Amino acid sequence: MPRLALLTSGGDAPGMNCAIAAVTKVAWGLGGTVVGVQDGYDGLVAGRWSELTRERIDGIWHWGGTILGTARSETFRTADGRARAAERLRQDGVDALVVVGGNGSLTGAHLLARETGFPVVGLPASIDHDIACTSWAIGVDTALNTIMEACDRIGDTAWSHRRCFVVEVMGRQCGYLAMASAIGTAADAVLFREQGKEEAELVAELEAMLVRAVRERGKKRILVLKAEGVQIPTARLCDQLQAAADAAELGIGVRYTVLGHVVRGGAPTFRDRLVAGRLAHAAVWAVLAGPDDVRAQAASTGLMAGWEPREPGGIDTPDRSVQLFALDDVLAQTDALLDGSHPTTKARVKLLGAVQGVLSL
């Protein structure tokens, strides 16, 4: 009877529990069993895992977070720690490992496969949407909906008090949440790291936008989305904007809200449930029912299941919306996504540049 191990790692993302339930059920359908590893790679090294039963996964489909927990592991960062983890898995009769997580988690999965030959397949889960070879990561849609709801509520008080609000959202290395939220919330401006602008330039642009919005358009509600990866502190930015508004006698107050970790929580949306379930199906197929060359790839470099990827070179699965990519390729292209050289990043920045003037209308 085939046996899988499953762990969630890195920052939690809505939809992780959907992936846990889906992996377990698909494995059951193929005659296998699944053990859930507690606390990510830390639990993997320590051997903290137990059978995922119907009682454990029943009802978790709509829960945020992850029932398996997540934690950093300094031991797993070492080759010896990864070797110990692989040996524990083999001793317990585990045939393959499924890792649900982001960039760092997938890096660990790749190293485990490459160094020990243990089959690994990853599911991209990151609200920052900072993973290549997938057009959607688990948790992104829920995070965007949470941001939009928060901004809608903030907009109500902004209208009532004639205020400009700067809303900071997560996205340390990737500004996707700020970019997409700016469109979805009808924001007046958006700041993200990939713009590559210095503080003085950003402030000058926002000050000019603020004056136009109030004097020319008579706006009472002004909304600015800011990714946390933009180096200027949000409080300092607001102080400068308030000083500019006062100097121009605009009669408008400037406030800020840092949404922070609230964006990570909550019940996953339909899209996140769908994507998690279908990625899970392809991942289990890859290591339990896929052809020999696919399973060999899982044991040599590790694989990741990607949702409707734009990058070439993927391996087809029974789900035509999901392809598998070697983890070394995923990680290389993710580096390009984050340093700005990837076509996807260039397209995002170009699009936002083209509509910047439209946002404040």
How far apart, in whole angstroms, are the C-alpha atoms of residue 190 and residue 178?
A: 7
Closest CA to 190 of 336, 17, 354, 78: 354
Amino acid in the structure at residue 224:
V
128 is catalytic: yes
Between the alpha carbon of residue 107 and those of residues 111, 170, 329, the distances in Å are 6, 21, 11
The structure tokens listed for 314 are 């993927």
User: What is the β-pairing status of strands 3-8 and 33-37?
Assistant: parallel
Q: Is 95 exposed, middle or buried (0-12, 13-18, 19+ CB in 10 A)?
A: middle
Angle in degrees, CA 261, 64, 309, rounded to 5? 90
Using an 8 Å Cβ cutoff, are 324 and 124 in contact? no
Say which of 128, 141, 188, 272 is annotated catalytic: 128
Catalytic site residues? Answer: 128
